Chain A
Amino acid sequence: MCLAIPGKLLTVDDHVITRVGSVEFGGITRQANLDLVPEAQVGDYVLVHVGFAISRIDEAEALRTLEILREMGELSEVEDGPASP
């Protein structure tokens, strides 16, 4: 139920009472309500849950996490030697 899917914000449409946008999830595009993420702009990735974007994904943080994990992996290979086949 708490499943939230990351998708790319393609368009934004400011209605009178609500802000909606089309969000692409791996080839599928759906409308999502954007009122909870007023900072989200076209091109950003947002987490969408039951039709509502609940968070803008911080690209810099995502890259940093992956970079740290990759460095750590390389470091452990140096420490442990190559993995056995």
Chain B
Amino acid sequence: MKYVSEFRDPILAQALTARIRRAVTRPWTIMEICGGQTHTIVRHGLDELLPRGVELVHGPGCPVCVTATENIDRALAIAARPEVIFTTYGDMLRVPGSSKDLYSVKARGADVRIVYSPADALEMARRNPEKQVVFFGVGFETTAPAHAMTLQLARKSGLKNFSMLVSHVLVPPAIRAILSSPSCRIQGFIAPGHVCAIQGYKEYEDLAREFRVPIVVGGFEPIDLLEAVAMLLEQLEKGSVVCENQYVRSVTRDGNRNAQASVREVFSVAPQVWRGIGMIPGSGLQFREEYKPLDAALRFAVDLTPAPEHPDCISAQIMMGLKKPWDCTAFATRCTPDLPLGAPMVSNEGACAAYYRYKRHTHV
């Protein structure tokens, strides 16, 4: 596939690992934020190509993992209503709420359907006028424009039976929270390329300046990530602290202004609770007044009694870069993708699920 296979070329990977080995003189700790990048790194064993002492730690960039338990519980309660067709992305069905997940609600008779796109949910609403179609939209800046545009289309078309439950999270406030933590050990960041395809990377230039930390916007293929790591290590070795763009074929400094305008029209920035981490100011998106009639959280009143996280789950420390999945006593024993205790074991992009799939037999 064009723009995929060329960026998986083993010869280029060898050249990049040689460049990395030449650059490095001491240990460094780098965090990739995005769960898609975590998946590529673990799947292709890129971390094992790096010199001893260069550590890649995995950030909170899996939206499925950080969706607050309260939002999952709200989704479960809405999905259980008889008049509702509940639609969402496939990853969301096994995410544990306080006591159950969407699969178990579906097993009890709820009409829960997986869709590829929010546009498919809107189409479902058109075809099922007697039902209330609810789309559960979670995601980072990459996904928010698709949700915003779907809501704009729904509003224009005047559909009365479509609404959306949203849980959006924003990356720069999370990086700020990680860097502000007294226990932070991250010395450089790989910024998420597809988030930056939407937002551009000016906010990351500000973070690099403010916290004096190098940041490289990286793509998603092995060559992209090795090049991003090489660029970061070269900066770290010479004491440079700027934001650079490795993913130039898809990311511009200003990002996609049409997408940003759509999101701005529908949503405003708000505080957001991240599962396992807590509330991060300015890290979420809420419906603007004129779009509130399409907010499923307002359309369907539900009673919620949130329960605490499972006491064995250390997902917060994993997502803050303090621990690795195999530091958890429940990893691959009491917590597996089939029976997850915490959300990072659910999604393909969760660090625990990636380690379970590719590394559970390699760490003794």
Residues of B within 8 A of A8 (CB): 2
B59 in the interface (beta carbon within 8 A): no
Residues A61 and B249 in contact, CB atoms below 8 Å apart: yes
Chain B 27-71 near chain A by CB (<8 Å), digits 1 or 0: 000000011100000000000000000000000011110000000
Measured between C-beta atoms, what is the minimum distance from A81 to chain B in Å? 11
Residues of A within 8 A of B18 (CB): 76, 80
Cα A65 to Cα B142 in complex, Å, equals: 23
Residues of A within 8 A of B3 (CB): 6, 45, 57, 62
B336 in the interface (beta carbon within 8 A): no
B11 in the interface (beta carbon within 8 A): yes
Which listed residue, A1, A33, A69, touches B63 by the CB 8 Å rule? A1
Listed by A's residue number, 10 A-B pairs whose Cβ atoms lie within 8 Å are: A1-B63, A4-B220, A50-B146, A52-B119, A55-B197, A55-B251, A66-B7, A73-B11, A76-B18, A76-B19
**Chain A's interface: helix, strand, loop or mixed, by majority?**
mixed
Interface, chain A (partner B; CB < 8 A): 1-4, 6, 8, 17-18, 25-26, 33, 35-38, 45, 47, 49-52, 54-55, 57-59, 61-62, 64-66, 69-70, 72-73, 76-77, 80, 83
* B235-275 contacts to A (CB < 8 Å): 248-251, 256, 258-259, 262
Residues of B within 8 A of A59 (CB): 249
B: contact size bracket: 35 or more
Q: A2-B140, A36-B258, A54-B259 are in contact. Are A72 and B116 (CB under 8 A)?
A: no
Q: A2-B140, A4-B142 are in contact. Are A69 and B227 (CB under 8 A)?
A: yes
Residues B12 and A36 in contact, CB atoms below 8 Å apart: no
Cα A22 to Cα B18 in complex, Å, equals: 41
Residue on A nearest B140 in the bound complex, by CB? A2
Interface, chain B (partner A; CB < 8 A): 1-4, 6-7, 11-12, 14-16, 18-19, 22, 34-36, 61-64, 89, 91, 116-120, 138-140, 142-143, 145-146, 149, 153, 156-157, 192, 194-195, 197-198, 220, 223, 227, 248-251, 256, 258-259, 262, 347, 349
Residues of A within 8 A of B6 (CB): 62, 66
Residues A45 and B248 in contact, CB atoms below 8 Å apart: no
